Structure 1
């Protein structure tokens, strides 16, 4: 018998949405690295970019999480972001590779200040 494993979807990441149309927002992601669902993002010059803990231009401030995959290799692109009023599954978040435990705590506090709670969930 073949076993089917359902792929991840947004509800695996977004556990609670405070209000439809308020928690999630359509935004512009800047040209650059591909945006993947669950990527922690920052806001720089009116566009959203991956969180960069070594930056000094605003990209070091966590403001939300990408809610879908967006191809930004060739140009800026529209996509969905979770920017306020949410509970997110920590295991589904994508962090920078140079993230330390101290920087992680700072970023989680930044998200929390925007009403985005990051919680650990049980793996089944």
Structure 2
């Protein structure tokens, strides 16, 4: 556990160094609530147990965001994505097959049969 903690601290420090270099400085605006929601949504969409899924979806969602695909609704779109992923695909998009996703979507409005005593 110690090695995992140290390795994650190294990655976090490296990310902080790169962010500071990219922005030319660092301030409290870099840790706002909506930016945190964005980062959590990116990881949740890719799947928290799937490193490649989180990396791929991070690249895709950031690319779409930087291209202006969501307009001024970036934060709302990322929040909505986070809610939908938590409801329908808790293991991320890559952790769930499309057939299972459709079954979960269809079953939301249906009543479950009562269990026998």
**TM-score of the alignment, normalized to the shorter chain, above 0.5:** no
Identify which of structures 1 and 2 has the higher relative contact order when contacts are C-alpha pairs closer than 8 Å and 6+ apart: 1
TM-score (norm 1): 0.21
More strand by percentage:
1
TM-score (norm 2): 0.22
More helix by percentage:
2
